[in-house]
Amino acid sequence: MRGSVLAVVAVLLCATCRLGCAFIDGLVPNGNFELGPKPSDMKGTVVIGKYAIPKWEISGFVEYIKSGQKQGDMLLVVPEGAFAVRLGNEASIKQRLRVQKGMYYSITFSAARTCAQEEKLNISVAPDSGVLPMQTLYSSNGWDSYAWAFQAELDVAEIVIHNPGVEEDPACGPLIDSIAIRALYPPKATNKNLLKNGGFEEGPYIFQNTSWGVLIPPNIEDDHSPLPGWMVESLKAVKYIDSAHFSVPGGYRAIELVAGKESAIAQVARTIPGKTYTLFFAVGDASNSCEGSMIVEAFAGRDTIKVPYESKGKGGFKRAVLRFKAVSTRTRIMFYSTFYTMRSDDFSSLCGPVVDDVVLLSVRNPRLM
């Protein structure tokens, strides 16, 4: 009797935690900066006072920007709601969030460059930090969303986004909007797939109101990847896309290889030397006016296959297979696009082939196949 009461209480606690923790997936409090400073806390567009923006702590030259505001002859637009912040030289914004110790989280935020210089943002949750380059524009309106992941070492995560730049014009700095967080549940390899997260279904938060996907930045190691299981080892980001805004071969999510050979994803699988394996995957286009002859190169250790795909930019995919004999206990599976492609409706936006449904299986009796 007592046992079952305890069980019920445990279930209820669990349910409340689920509800209580539900805020975790989505915008952080005032993550779209719609709650702004009081006029007395502002000097023009510059925010005066550490705690002037509700839910945030700021430092340095931070501006509060209204959508439609002009900078020179550039009209500043904001992806979510009507307001955003701009981080000038050495400026930062900070927020503390309750999290679950030990859990992995991915943060997604939208940022736009406003000056011609290369800009970078340093995002951190101590002791982890990552410097995200914003060197290449991937979407035409200037805004891109970026993902970064961390493992919570404490029950509270202090998220800091810092512009380490030192530009001549102190107001030159990226606009930031829509900061969201999502708990990650790292998938495991199974006997149905020796790769983890082969369908890319587990990944960072994607904003419903943005149609440009989320960039998984370069130099992402697998232990802290916003795309669990996968690493981005290349110089440039890969793009995480969803079926609500793009065409994806399977499930709800996929990867778009947006920067040719500079944009690669990889995963290391455990293999048995001498055994034969098959790597299955889908290659397609995201239905985003990315047209032309594309080639995805897949690697499994030393073996490789080039998969051509003729894209009309209207969606679609084909399946491909790479069969190989493992030579090591660890085999690196990697994909990149041979070519650079630009959207036919917007020559300033990089795009590329989509990869999805990646499955690695060992072949029981290779001679029978």
Ligand X SMILES: *[C@@H]1O[C@H](CO)[C@@H](O)[C@H](O)[C@H]1NC(C)=O
Closer to ligand X by CB, 154 or 327: give it. 154
Tokens of 145: 């969303």
Binding residue for ligand X, selected from 52, 56, 80, 87, defined by CB under 6 A: 80
Q: Closest distance between ligand X and the C-beta of residue 151, in Å?
A: 16
3-class DSSP state of 14 = helix
Helix (H, G, I), strand (E, B), or coil: what is residue 224? helix
209 near ligand X (CB under 6 A): yes
What are 308's two structure tokens?
Answer: 């051509």
Q: Is 122 in the site for ligand X (CB under 6 A)?
A: yes
133 binds ligand X (CB under 6 A): no
Minimum distance of ligand X from residue 359's CB (angstroms) = 34
Distance CA 37, CA 19 (A): 30
Pick one of 133, 142, 164, 260: the residue that binds ligand X (CB under 6 A): 164
Q: Among residues 95, 106, 110, 124, which is the contact residue for ligand X, using CB under 6 A? A: 124
CB of 138 to ligand X, least distance (A): 21
Tally of CB atoms within 10 A around 369: 9
Minimum separation from the CB atom of position 56 to ligand X (A): 16
Window contacting ligand X (CB under 6 A); options: 95-103, 156-164, 245-253, 347-355: 156-164
- Provide the mask over 259-288, with x wherever binding to ligand X is found by CB under 6 A and - wherever it is not: ------------------------------
Q: Look at residue 228 and give its three-state secondary structure.
A: coil
Residue 293 token pair: 């002859």
| Contact criterion met (CB below 8 Å) for 272 and 362 | yes
The structure tokens listed for 287 are 């239905």
Close Cβ partners of 350 (under 8 Å, ≥ 6 residues apart): 136, 137, 138, 258, 259, 340, 341, 342
Strands 276-285 and 354-362: antiparallel
Q: How far is the CB of 92 from ligand X (least distance, A)?
A: 8
Place of tokens 């567009």: 45
Q: How far apart are the first and last CA of the chain?
A: 58
Identified binder of ligand X from the candidate list 140, 208, 328, 329, rule CB under 6 A: 208
Count of other CB atoms within 10 angstroms of residue 261: 15
Instruction: Identify which of residues 217 and 249 has a Cβ nearer to ligand X in the complex.
Output: 217
8 backbone dihedrals φ, ψ, rounded to 5°: -65, -45
Closest CB 135 distance from ligand X, rounded Å = 15
**Number of amino acids touching ligand X (CB under 6 A):** 10
How many other C-beta atoms are found inside a 10 Å radius of the C-beta of residue 228?
Answer: 23
Q: Please select the residue that binds ligand X; options are 82, 131, 171, 235, rule is CB under 6 A.
A: 131
The window from 55-63, 157-165, 306-314, 349-357 that contacts ligand X (CB under 6 A) reads: 157-165
State in angstroms the smallest separation of the CB of 209 from ligand X: 4
The least CB distance from residue 127 to ligand X, in Å, is: 8
- Residues at the contact surface with ligand X, assessed by CB under 6 A: 80, 122, 124, 129, 131, 160, 162, 164, 208-209
